Amino acid sequence: MAQVMMGSEVAKDLRRGIAEQIDRLKAQGRRLPRLAVVLVGDNPASLSYVRGKEKACAEVGMASLMIHLPSSTTQAQLMEQIRQLNQDATVDGILCQLPLPEGLDERQVIQEIAVDKDVDGFHPVNVGKLHLKEDGFVPCTPLGCMELLHRMGVDPAGKRAVVIGRSNLVGAPVARLLLNENATVTICHSKTADLPAVCRQADILIAAVGRAKMITSDYIKEGAAVIDVGINRTEEGRLTGDVDFDSAVEKAGWITPVPKGVGPMTIAMLLKNTMKAYYGHEGEQK
Ligand code: NDP
């Protein structure tokens, strides 16, 4: 029977640490870290994600700046907004909530964000730094996965890791982080042959697919650490992961649930990245 790693508890612990750092800055009368979030249009899911980020900032005492632009915003107007935030010395981190409404080019927007304020870690320079093992910003969900592994006491060095999913958002960066920590990494995708057999070799299995309960115990090696990144909605409207928790929990050594697993870690890592950007702007290494 697996031990269950509650991301919600780890995230709470991380937020507490950040709140303490901000309290110290306040006591010293210092400038506070500030995250700018740009939302274009009224996609309900995006609105709720943005509100979650605003709330998380408020809870730790971090300043935030929410910029809500109408869906009629042009590419030129959005680029100008990003440029203004790049130049604003009171802003440490900039995040543009994706997806953008149809007609707006995400790639151009990501490339416009200053590399030192790119707390989502999507800018090509930061992507390159991750691959070169240089210090930069790493996407929040993959960082959250690695933090959970560390808290499980799982050292990736020498282990076989299998990542299911190869997106730029999750699969590819988490695979690179595992490789950087000396795991032997296999990346699977929709064309992978005999996926269950590949997954059964994994000491560390990361599922980032977007298919409810696809990963049953048949995919899991006895005692493996299983991290479920997937967020899927069932017909009854409940959230569920990519892993069939009830069967997987019998075989894994460690497992993360959905909800309360990777999800809360993503926001905690966004706050952590914003603190890193802040210390960088203040000329301090942390
Ligand atoms: P994408 O749709 O961009 O990528 C999904 C990946 O899964 C692709 O590489 C795809 O392969 C692969 N895939 C699809 N079907 C299969 C299959 N049958 N067998 C093997 N591989 C398959 O999704 P994301 O990476 O953005 O997100 C993945 C999941 O994680 C989603 O459920 C998303 O909601 C969730 N998520 C959760 C976050 C959190 O905070 N917890 C944050 C971000 C995402 P191919 O490349 O060949 O198409």
Give the pLDDT confidence of 66-86 residue by residue, as tens digits. 999 999 999 999 999 999 999
Residue 285 is predicted with a pLDDT of 73
Task: Give the closest residue (by CA) to ligand 1 atom 36.
Answer: 230
108 Cα: distance to centroid of ligand 1 (angstroms): 23
Kindly list the catalytic residues.
Answer: 53, 97, 120
Crossing angle of helices 7-27/262-281, nearest 10°? 20
Distance CA 245, CA 217 (A): 9
Mutate to test the pocket of ligand 1, among 209, 218, 239, 244 (most ligand atoms within 8 A of CB): 209
Q: In the prediction, which pLDDT does 162 show?
A: 99
What is the Rg, in whole angstroms, of the alpha carbon atoms belonging to the chain? Answer: 19
Please report the pLDDT score of residue 148 as a whole number: 98
- Residues lining ligand 1, Cβ inside 6 A: 141, 164-167, 169-171, 188-192, 195, 208-211, 229-232, 262-263, 266
Q: Which atom of ligand 1 is nearest to the CA of 261?
A: 41
Dist. CA 33–CA 144, nearest whole Å: 21
Q: What value does the mean pLDDT of the chain take?
A: 97
Tell me whether the omega of the peptide bond preceding residue 259 falls within 30 degrees of 0, making it cis. Answer: yes
Which atom number of ligand 1 is nearest to the Cα of residue 170? 25
Distance 213 CA to ligand 1 centre (A): 13
Please provide residue 51's backbone torsions phi and psi, each rounded to the nearest 5 degrees. Answer: -65, -40
> Residue 243 C-alpha to ligand 1 middle, in angstroms?
12
CA–CA–CA angle 28, 33, 38 (5° rounding)? 160
pLDDT tens by residue, 101-140: 999 999 999 999 999 999 999 999 999 999 999 999 999 9
Which ligand 1 atom sits nearest the alpha carbon of residue 265? Answer: 40
Q: How close is the Cα of 165 to the center of ligand 1, in Å?
A: 5
Structure confidence at residue 235 (pLDDT): 87
| Residues of the chain predicted below pLDDT 50 | none
